[in-house]
Homo-oligomer: A and B are copies of this chain.
Amino acid sequence: MYKNIKTIAFDADDTLWVNETYFREAELKFAQLMQPYETINQINQELFKIEIDNLDYYGYGIKGFVLSMIEAALKLSNNQVTQDTIANIVAIGKEMMDKPVELLDGVEDVLRELSPKYRLVLATKGDLMDQERKLEKSGLLKYFHHIEVMSDKKASDYTKLIGHLDIKPPEFLMIGNSLKSDILPLLEIGAQAIHVPFHTTWQHEEVHEKELDSADFQTINKLKEVLSHISLKS
């Protein structure tokens, strides 16, 4: 049982709603568009490399992803990619933005149960527009005391957030699907964390097993299980 918690923060993408799946679908469409020029393997590798190289410029989110796809298309095709394909790539991005928000199983039950008892925060990494759009579509805004869209989720970013919330790290519980972004940086600063894996993880968010040695956190299969790890007394 997690104790002394004042604020519970939830990651959003792939913790409250489906996200990575849409990126995977978009990567697949991109690979199909690029098939005249390269092997699927080479296409995926080049796109990933360009996305990582561009992180300092673009950060996380759909707009940066589209710009990286365009750059990858030019490179993979040796500047031969057609104008129609460029237009298709731009359209892939807008389609992603138009997707409905698909809540994961039990999300609303958990938030409804916890929100009268704890201060709930949404702590999400990504693009401000993307995340605000999804939050609005989700109908979940009413459960949260505070929304924090973070450009990154390193230990120092969480320290800033926790300071802003005027609590101590052990009073902060983070719940999320990414070991790298939602779990390990929290344990590093003495906060608490619960891991809810999603079936798909972006390569960039993967961690080596040795980083998990002696890491002290619970892993649950479905978000609803958090209710058995947190006190529900008002």
Contact = CB atoms under 8 A, between A and B. Distances in A.
Interface of A: 57-59, 63-64, 66-67, 70-71, 74, 77, 79-81, 83-84, 86-87, 90, 93-94, 97, 127-129, 132, 146, 149, 151, 164
Contact of A90 (B70, B97, B151): B70
Nearest to A81: B83
Secondary structure call for the A interface: helix
A97 B67 CA distance: 14
A129 to B, nearest CB: 4
Contacts of A87: 71, 74, 79
A74 B86 contact: yes
Given A79-B84, A132-B151, A93 B67 contact: yes
A189 B140 CA distance: 26
Top 10 nearest A-B pairs by Cβ distance?
A59-B129, A63-B63, A79-B83, A128-B128, A128-B151, A132-B151, A57-B97, A74-B87, A129-B151, A57-B94
A146 B70 CA distance: 36
A127 B60 CA distance: 11
Nearest to A89: B70
Nearest to A149: B128
Contacts of A67: 63, 66-67, 90, 93
A79 B66 CA distance: 18
A74 B132 CA distance: 29
6 contacts: A57-B129, A63-B67, A80-B83, A86-B86, A127-B128, A128-B149
Contacts of A70: 70, 86, 90
A182 B162 CA distance: 29
Nearest to A66: B67
A217 to B, nearest CB: 28
A22 to B, nearest CB: 15
A58 B80 CA distance: 27
A97 B164 CA distance: 28
Nearest to A60: B129
